[in-house]
Chain A
Amino acid sequence: MTVNELIEKSDLKPLNLADGERQISGVYNCDLMSVVMSKGFSGAAWVTIMANINAVAVASLTDMACIVLSQDAAIDEIMIEKAKAQDINVLKSEKPIFETSLEIHSLITNA
């Protein structure tokens, strides 16, 4: 499933859509950057509350498909600017991490 298809089939709102045709290979959860650096994987939809500029760098370095900011994470404008500059997809969910992740997982496994 692509990021565009995910947006179409869910309530996720794009905050920065850099490459909507990017394929999602799975869902990943974690808020500790060092763990994300070593365990995050290429093509992941990374559901997190870490709405900061460093999340963009980590998503870029681990080649993730998108960052999904969940549960009313306060959006940092500088983060979105960085995401634009680095071509990183950023989406937003109003639901908690687990519900958001489960929904994405269900959509991509049933696609």
Chain B
Amino acid sequence: MSNLVLKYTVDDQDFTRAGEASSDVKKKLKMMGVPPEAVRKVAIAMYEGEINMVIHANGGEITVEITPSQIVMVLKDNGPGIADIEQAMQAGWSTASENIRALGFGAGMGLPNMKKYSDEMDIDTVLGVGTTVTMKVNI
């Protein structure tokens, strides 16, 4: 059986659609009978990543590959890049604006949550070019 590959476009600053890609993946995983705990981990990790792309990175593309043993999410943006990954990974550290914080985001928990809820996470970032985050959740 070939792996299922899903592709999504995340629009820049479009909060009306933020979360739609994650919701769609969650729905599909549930329908496929993926264990609830793995579905929950994917939903949390991917939603945080999707929101980061909307807030910080002018949107981008998400590819989700579902294999019998794991779910691989690749979030690719053409945003400003992350200057200091170690700092960005610190819980509570955020560059989000006051407007974003007023919406309940920007608490500096996005990247830590993505790491916590994925079994494997890799960040490839180049300043001025963009960031690709790859997250894997085992089934």
Mask of B17-31 contacts with A, CB within 8 angstroms, 1/0? 011101100100000
| Given A38-B117, A52-B104, also A61-B26 (CB < 8 A) | yes
Pairwise interchain contact B110-A54, C-beta atoms closer than 8 A: no
| Given A38-B113, A61-B47, also A82-B104 (CB < 8 A) | no
Pairwise interchain contact B113-A34, C-beta atoms closer than 8 A: yes
Hey, which chain A residues are within 8 Å of B15, CB to CB?
52-54
**Chain B contact residue count (CB 8 A cutoff):** 22
Question: What distance in Å separates the Cβ of B29 from its nearest Cβ neighbour in chain A?
Answer: 12
Pairwise interchain contact A61-B16, C-beta atoms closer than 8 A: no
**Chain A contact residue count (CB 8 A cutoff):** 21
Name B43's closest neighbour in chain A (CB-CB).
A61
Q: Is B34 at the interface (CB under 8 A from chain A)?
A: no
Question: What distance in Å separates the Cβ of B54 from its nearest Cβ neighbour in chain A?
Answer: 10
Pairwise interchain contact A38-B44, C-beta atoms closer than 8 A: yes
Pairwise interchain contact B105-A82, C-beta atoms closer than 8 A: no
Task: Give the residue of A38, A52, A60, A82 whose beta carbon is less than 8 angstroms from that of B103.
Answer: A52
Hey, which chain B residues are within 8 Å of A61, CB to CB?
19, 22-23, 26, 43-44, 47
Q: Is B107 at the interface (CB under 8 A from chain A)?
A: yes
Q: Is B48 at the interface (CB under 8 A from chain A)?
A: yes
Mask of A51-71 contacts with B, CB within 8 angstroms, 1/0? 011110110111000000000
| Given A34-B109, A37-B44, also A57-B18 (CB < 8 A) | yes
Hey, which chain A residues are within 8 Å of B103, CB to CB?
33, 50, 52, 54
Name A36's closest neighbour in chain B (CB-CB).
B104
Q: Is B116 at the interface (CB under 8 A from chain A)?
A: yes
Hey, which chain B residues are within 8 Å of A35, CB to CB?
107, 109
Mask of B49-86 contacts with A, CB within 8 angstroms, 1/0? 00100000000000000000000000000000000000
Name B111's closest neighbour in chain A (CB-CB).
A34
Task: Give the residue of B16, B47, B110, B113 whose beta carbon is less than 8 angstroms from that of A82.
Answer: B16
> Which residues of B line the A interface, CB within 8 A?
15-16, 18-20, 22-23, 26, 43-44, 47-48, 51, 103-105, 107, 109-110, 113, 116-117
